[in-house]
Amino acid sequence: VGGRIRPVTPTELATHNTQNDAWLAIRGRVYNITHYLPYHPGGPEELMRGAGIDATQLFDKVHPWVNYDSLLAKCLVGPLRFDLPSAE
């Protein structure tokens, strides 16, 4: 069963900032990193620095060579979107 891909606003992203429920955005894509935390080579604490935010700059500062989109393919929530239609 494939996950539903849907847009995420920065406000919603910000609410997912705990180790039990952690999302992060890189280059306009939001990922649920909760299940990846234990496997992050830099440790969960380092990865949590990017939780709930657009972590693009942080990510690029540490390891721009890492293929995050491939590693987190199954963790994709959807695109980061500032404007959402009010009717849903």
Residues that bind ligand HEM (CB under 6 A): 36, 40-42, 46-47, 49-50, 55, 58-59, 62-63, 66, 68, 71-72
Which CB, 7 or 56, lies closer to ligand HEM?
56
Distances in Å between the alpha carbon of 67 and those of 7, 12, 15, 19, 86?
A: 22, 25, 25, 22, 34
| Residue number, 57 or 84, with CB nearest to ligand HEM | 57
Distance, in Å, from the CA atom of 78 to the CA atom of 58, rounded to the nearest integer, reads 20
CA 71 from chain centre, in angstroms, equals: 12
Q: Which helix (H) or strand (E) holds 57?
A: helix 56-62
Q: Which is nearer to ligand HEM, 21 or 46 (CB)?
A: 46
Least Å from the CB of residue 87 to ligand HEM: 33
Residue nearest to ligand HEM (CB): 42
